[in-house]
Amino acid sequence: MIVKFIEQKRQSVPIILHNVYFEGPLNEEMQAWYVKTFGAEPHSTGKIFTATLPGVVSYFSHSEGAVAPTQGHAIDYIGFEVRNLGEFCKKLEAQGITLDSPYRPAPAFNTYTAHFTDPWGTNIELVEGMASIP
């Protein structure tokens, strides 16, 4: 996974997430999985495949060699704000996805959360309610 910081003087807020890069030998399968799992909009341009969700574009580039899991590394996980998280978790489980930590309240933040790992080892946090925290 690659993290990049770019200055754009015309943006209206101090920090904006634009994209996340995934690399691996199965980049087309990675894109298809994120499209199916999160309902992202797929695009492709040559050898680069993308999946767009509100607020972020995920790039899936081909690379040789195995992909290392994220947990325990500098980028330990990625997170998504999800409406109706309880229902979304039921949908994931119906697709055969095992939750690493089940849907549950996070009272300290007045939110709900769940975690799971994608087939390539990316630790994913799902949260409902973060958008309402000032």
What's the pLDDT tens digit per position in 1-30? 566 777 778 888 777 777 888 889 999 999
pLDDT (0 to 100) of residue 120: 93
Q: Are residues 38 and 76 in the same domain?
A: no
Average of pLDDT values for 90-110? 95
What's the pLDDT tens digit per position in 49-98? 999 998 889 999 998 988 888 888 877 889 999 999 999 999 999 999 99
Q: Are residues 118 and 74 in the same domain?
A: yes
pLDDT (0 to 100) of residue 30: 94
For 14, which DSSP code?
S
12 within a domain of the structure (yes/no): no
Q: Are residues 55 and 79 in the same domain?
A: no
Read off the pLDDT band of 119 (50, 70, 90): very high
Q: Are residues 123 and 100 in the same domain?
A: yes
Using CA atoms, how far apart are residues 13 and 76, in angstroms rounded to an integer?
A: 26
Q: Are residues 48 and 90 in the same domain?
A: no
Which structural domain, as residue segments, surrounds residue 31? 17-65
pLDDT (0 to 100) of residue 73: 80
Q: Are residues 21 and 49 in the same domain?
A: yes
CATH number at residue 75: 3.10.180.10
| Residue (of 116, 86, 87, 88) closest to 101 by Cα position | 116
| Count of domains for the chain | 2
Q: Are residues 72 and 122 in the same domain?
A: yes
pTM to 2 decimals? Answer: 0.85
6 within a domain of the structure (yes/no): no
11 within a domain of the structure (yes/no): no
Q: Is the pLDDT of residue 124 over 80?
A: yes
131 within a domain of the structure (yes/no): yes
| Residue (of 47, 6, 40) closest to 23 by Cα position | 47
Q: Are residues 78 and 114 in the same domain?
A: yes
pLDDT (0 to 100) of residue 71: 86
Q: Are residues 90 and 131 in the same domain?
A: yes
For 133, which DSSP code?
-
The alpha-helical segments, DSSP class H, found in the chain are 27-38, 85-94
Q: Are residues 123 and 99 in the same domain?
A: yes
